[in-house]
Amino acid sequence: MAAKMPVRKYITANEAVAQAVRLAHVDVVAAYPITPQTSIVEKIAKFIADGEMDADYLKVESEHSSLTACMGVRMAGARAFTSTSSQGLEYMHEMLAYTAGGRYPLVLVNVCRSVALPWSIWGDQQDAIQQRDTGWIQIFTETGQEALDMVLQAYRIAEDHRVLLPVMICLDAFIQSHTEELVEIPDQATVDSFLPPYDPVVTLDVDDPYSISVGGFGKHYARWKMEQQEATEKARDIILEMGDEFARIFGRHYGGLIEEYRCDGAEAVLLAMGAFTGTAREVVDEMRDEGRSVGLVKVRAFRPFPVEPLRKVLSTVKSAAVLDRDCSWGYEGALATDLKAALYGLPDPPAILNFIGGLGGADVPPEKMKYMLEKALAVERGTTPHLEFIDP
């Protein structure tokens, strides 16, 4: 039952997500088990079984069907949730593009895990990055608290009539999913004051029948896709708006599309997404104490890409080390590529060093972060591209 005051508990990010789903008045949860996502949906199933959450749990036979069923729930005008990882997200791929194109305001939590082969249940972000072009809004989180808070915000962002796009909240396998942290679980009334009931634009309404998802030729198709792009671009403003409104109510703010940590006057910055940014903060503090001029840029929104904030912060530094827990094989890490494109046209752009690390659950300890930042400090602008695998 909903407590009257926020509760502070040591829980995993997976449980934090389940708590957010409970608080979000989700009507139907459709999910298929995969490590390390399972404890999210197990917890939700338990909430429902114990009567702590009024929702239906659809026991689907695959991730392709879980996302499709969620789309169906939305067509009926109700709120849905699903969650997956890795191979499951890959298996959903067709429906990820389908639901984004159809402008279904879905919320999905992906517990980022490696993609086979080699088979690995451990963490990296290859799974989420491979869905980059499906049209989903993708937000990476650092802690259990941020995961909980962003699931609540995700429903507002997705369902906003200026957006109407699906949102994927990403957390990192094991570092977040299976590690207990102190998390504040808000009370129901406060959540309700932030997240109103779902107000759909169009449903399968027998009294006002529409063909709600259709085919389109040539210019109709192009027009539809152009509007999809416009809405995705517009989502930047809505993400900021919701972040600010959330902060006013709950007192927690995560910085917007990116978070700059001690970037003032920094010569070199480290760019990263997800849970490793926690370690990076410590490293930046240590190096600053040693008089080294470094900072951290935590990229929170990967799609829509935070072009302007990145141009602003990167225009003041000499170099940047980009940590990618992914790779676009035959090129480089996706964050590095997108960052370079975002900086196009800057008069005196910084040198970009790309480090591929944390693959298949490999740790990126403080020494390695220090190594990347030292390397960035040592290079000059105009340095040729640098790509380095730091795990092996």
Which positions lie near another protein, rule CB under 8 A?
Answer: 27-28, 30, 55-56, 58-62, 64-66, 68-78, 80, 94-95, 98, 203-206, 209-217, 220
Q: Which of residues 72 and 256 has its CB atom nearest to another protein in the complex?
A: 72
Least Å from the CB of residue 281 to another protein: 41
Give the SS3 label for residue 236: helix
Cα-flanking dihedrals φ and ψ of residue 135, to 5°? 105, 5
Q: Which of residues 89 and 301 has its CB atom nearest to another protein in the complex?
A: 89
Q: Which of residues 55 and 272 has its CB atom nearest to another protein in the complex?
A: 55
Least Å from the CB of residue 198 to another protein: 10
Least Å from the CB of residue 158 to another protein: 16
Q: Which of residues 224 and 371 has its CB atom nearest to another protein in the complex?
A: 224
Least Å from the CB of residue 65 to another protein: 4
DSSP annotation of 275 = T
Distances (CA, A) of 18 to 28, 67, 146, 200, 249: 13, 17, 13, 24, 21
Strand order in the sheet with 268-272: 258-261, 294-299, 268-272, 319-324, 351-356, 386-389
Least Å from the CB of residue 51 to another protein: 16
Least Å from the CB of residue 210 to another protein: 6
Q: Which of residues 220 and 312 has its CB atom nearest to another protein in the complex?
A: 220
Do residues 93 and 331 touch, judged by C-beta distance below 8 A? no
Least Å from the CB of residue 167 to another protein: 18
Least Å from the CB of residue 277 to another protein: 35
Joined tokens for residue 278:
């926690």
DSSP annotation of 384 = P
DSSP annotation of 305 = -
Q: Which of residues 197 and 330 has its CB atom nearest to another protein in the complex?
A: 197
CB atoms within 10 A of CB 79: 25
Note the residue count of the chain.
392
CB atoms within 10 A of CB 260: 18
Residue closest to 310 by CA, chosen among 334, 330, 338: 338
Q: Which of residues 216 and 365 has its CB atom nearest to another protein in the complex?
A: 216
Alpha-carbon span 290 to 286, nearest angstrom = 6
Strand order in the sheet with 28-31: 56-59, 28-31, 80-84, 107-112, 167-172, 137-140, 301-303
Angle (CA) 127 147 153, round 5°: 105
Q: Which of residues 107 and 283 has its CB atom nearest to another protein in the complex?
A: 107
